[in-house]
Amino acid sequence: MFSANHKQLAILIDPHKASNQMANLLPLLKRQPPHYILVGGSMVTDTTTSIIETIKEHVSVPVILFPGSAAQFSPAADALMYLSLISGRNPDYLIGQHVQSSLQVYKHNMPVIPVGYMLVESGSLTSVQYISNTQPVPRTKNDIAVATALAGQYLGQKAIYLEGGSGAQLPVPLSMITAVKAHLSIPLIVGGGIKTPDAMADAFRAGADVVVIGNVLEENPALYTQLFERLALL
């Protein structure tokens, strides 16, 4: 579903926070749909399905589950990002949560996108780092990032996701994006800590195929239009 060598924008909506976000964001999504909408987060909530159904009433782009755990599965989504946290060594996030959800995925014939998910040091303790009890890739260690991403590709992942994490103070280093992209033949997704249109543009120029914007839109929905204006110039 994700495409290499195309500049695509994805908007991440966290169901745990969506009640404060949807009223402002939905009109923007309807007027200028992104390429993808991701729904998910680190905290378990029972509102995932209703949030997805509300989004799909207004927008026709793919709505993809971005689950923090098996409990966030919803048959209302168009596809599921099967995230393997390959930067960590916690078996629950490498395979355990997938085993718990697999029969539901099978039952609902849900399209699955296997994704190698890599946390990158971002200047603060992020939600996903705390919840998953894993260490991120040091932001100065491009060689570790490249080796980890390549291992994910060789294991059959269909995309690699470099993630600063929710609440990241700093985005993924541009040099790391470039180094990882140079070694991959699958799409590269980058998110976390991208707070301005220029930061988005920098990530694309460094090699990102998909840039994910999330928390900053909760604080500043008006930024959404600016992101598309900047994207049109790339």
Residue 166 counted as domain residue: yes
Identify which has the larger pLDDT, 16 or 119. Answer: 119
Percent of the chain with pLDDT over 90: 83
Residue 1 counted as domain residue: no
Structure tokens at 87: 């930067």
Distance CA 148, CA 86 (A): 7
Distance CA 173, CA 232 (A): 23
Instruction: Please state, rounded to an integer, the average pLDDT across all residues of the chain.
Output: 94
What is the count of structural domains for the chain?
A: 1
pLDDT value at position 16? 81
pLDDT value at position 76? 97
pTM over the 0.75 mark: yes
Q: How confident is the model at residue 24 (pLDDT cuts 50, 70, 90)?
A: confident
Residue 213 counted as domain residue: yes
Task: Give 153-201 pLDDT, tens digit per residue.
Answer: 999 999 999 999 887 899 999 999 999 999 999 999 999 999 999 999 9
Question: What CATH number corresponds to the domain at position 47?
Answer: 3.20.20.390
Helix/strand/coil (H, E, C) string of 21-89?
A: CHHHHHHHHHHCCCCEEEECCCCCCCCHHHHHHHHHHHCCCCEEECCCCHHHCCCCCCEEEEEEECCCC
pLDDT value at position 91? 96
Residue 2 counted as domain residue: no
Q: How confident is the model at residue 23 (pLDDT cuts 50, 70, 90)?
A: confident
Residues facing 159 on adjacent strands? 115
Q: How confident is the model at residue 118 (pLDDT cuts 50, 70, 90)?
A: very high
| Whether the predicted pLDDT of 20 surpasses 90 | no
Structure tokens at 54: 């509300």
Query: How much is the average pLDDT of 117-129?
Result: 93
Structure tokens at 82: 């099967």
Structure tokens at 121: 């040091």
Percent of the chain with pLDDT over 70: 99
Residue 42 counted as domain residue: yes
Residue 157 counted as domain residue: yes
Of 27-31, 111-115, 213-217, the poorest mean pLDDT is in 213-217
Helix (H) or strand (E) holding 189: strand 188-191
pLDDT value at position 219? 81
Query: How much is the average pLDDT of 29-51?
Result: 90
Residue 53 counted as domain residue: yes
Residue 77 counted as domain residue: yes
- Its domain, for residue 135, covers 8-231
